[in-house]
Amino acid sequence: MTGTRIAALGHYQPAKVLTNDDLAALVDTSDEWIRSRVGIRTRHMAGPEEPVDKLAAEAAAKALASAGLAPADVDLVVVATSTAIDRSPNMAARVAARLGMASPATMDLNVVCAGFTHALAVADHAVRAGSAHRALVVGADKMTEIADWTDRTTCVLLGDGAGAAVVEAAPAGAPGIGPVLWGSVPEMGHAVRIEGTPPRFAQEGQAVYRWATTRLPPLARQVCERSGIAVEELGAIVLHQANLRIIEPLALRIGAVNAVVARDVTESGNTSAASIPMALSKLVACGDVPPGSPALLFGFGGNLSYAGQVVHTP
């Protein structure tokens, strides 16, 4: 078996920005209320002409361009999303069609906010086993389409976007994508829900907060142990961008004192499966994290699922 690495990253957000003041015109809230409770200032909102697969394809095209690759160079497309309204064609097939790919394997994964790190692990395993040569992994969600705009505790959280990574083989033992740690708490799956017709997002905020800030830090440290990386060696921590009141205490309890902590949630909101690849892509693009830095990726949320791995930045 070979190793794997992330060759390149890309991200995409719709042009329309929704501010806290915009939301205050819709529900009983205010800029101060939102900032003090979740740390979000703005979020991006896709229009009717921007379905999930368009968001995903835009991010994927940027990742391919950054890697200097053509769509034909990819033989596996994995899209993590929980906001695909249609069942078939799936989002991965639609992304492949938009990019003009010839005959890749295409699959969607729905693990909500932990979707990207699950999808990255699936692609990592496929390339290591030799069943894929090069994979395109995308996290994309249009959360504003499933928002309950009458619920001020949830609608202020949500935004739209996509992030993508190109995964390819690397020499065994070389810095790249580390082993995944994943799992769930099925009996608490009700704490984060996307249910109904039309589907609407709902959550039990306090239950999620307690679980994330108390149960997840030791699991995140375990991810580092599996990769042979001390937490002090981490160059970046990219957690699911749920809200700042979860990200900051969770990062503190992990104990990576030298790491840059992604806080993209402040300008992007909670974009579910898109949040980790989008935040990582921005950190790399801005030069906040040097190439080859070990970064902890850790997704958590819906189903009370979690998945994390240490990757080295491209």
- What phi and psi, each to the nearest 5 degrees, are found at residue 15? -70, -30
Q: What is the pLDDT of residue 313?
A: 98
Whole-number Cα distances in Å, 201 to 100, 158, 159, 209: 33, 9, 12, 17
Instruction: Spell out the per-residue pLDDT of the chain, length 314, in tens.
Output: 689 999 999 999 999 999 999 999 999 999 999 999 999 999 999 999 999 999 999 999 999 999 999 999 999 999 999 999 999 999 999 999 999 998 999 999 999 999 999 999 999 999 999 999 999 999 999 999 999 999 999 999 999 999 999 999 999 889 999 999 999 999 999 999 999 999 999 999 999 999 999 999 999 999 999 999 999 999 999 999 999 999 999 999 999 999 999 999 999 999 999 999 999 999 999 999 999 999 999 999 999 999 999 999 99
Known catalytic membership, residue 113: yes
Q: What pLDDT was estimated at residue 28?
A: 94
20 is catalytic: no
Residue 244, helix vs strand vs coil: helix
pLDDT at 311: 98
With the C-alpha atoms ordered 124, 125, 128, 130, is the resulting torsion angle positive or negative?
A: negative
What pLDDT, on a 0 to 100 scale, did the predictor assign at position 173?
86
Pairing of strands 200-203, 3-12: unpaired
Q: What does the DSSP assignment read for 173-234?
A: TSSSBPPPEEEE-GGGGGGEEEETTTTEEEE-HHHHHHHHHHHHHHHHHHHHHHHT--GGG-
Q: Cα separations (Å) of 289 from 27, 161, 173, 245, 246?
A: 38, 21, 22, 23, 22
Q: Which of 11, 90, 113, 155 is catalytic?
A: 113
Does the annotation mark 240 as catalytic?
A: yes
* Active-site pick, 20, 90, 243, 270: 270
- Long-range (24+ apart) CB contacts under 8 A made by 211-216 are 211/185, 211/304, 212/242, 212/246, 212/250, 212/300, 213/246, 213/249, 213/250, 213/253, 216/250, 216/298, 216/300, 216/306
- Do residues 304 and 188 make contact, with C-beta atoms less than 8 angstroms apart? yes
Q: Answer yes or no: pTM beyond 0.95.
A: yes
Q: Pick the catalytic residue: 90, 240, 303, 312?
A: 240
**Radius of gyration for the alpha carbons in the chain, expressed in angstroms and rounded:** 18
* Helix intervals (H) in 12-168: 20-24, 31-38, 52-67, 91-99, 115-129
Q: Tell me, what's the pLDDT at 282?
A: 98
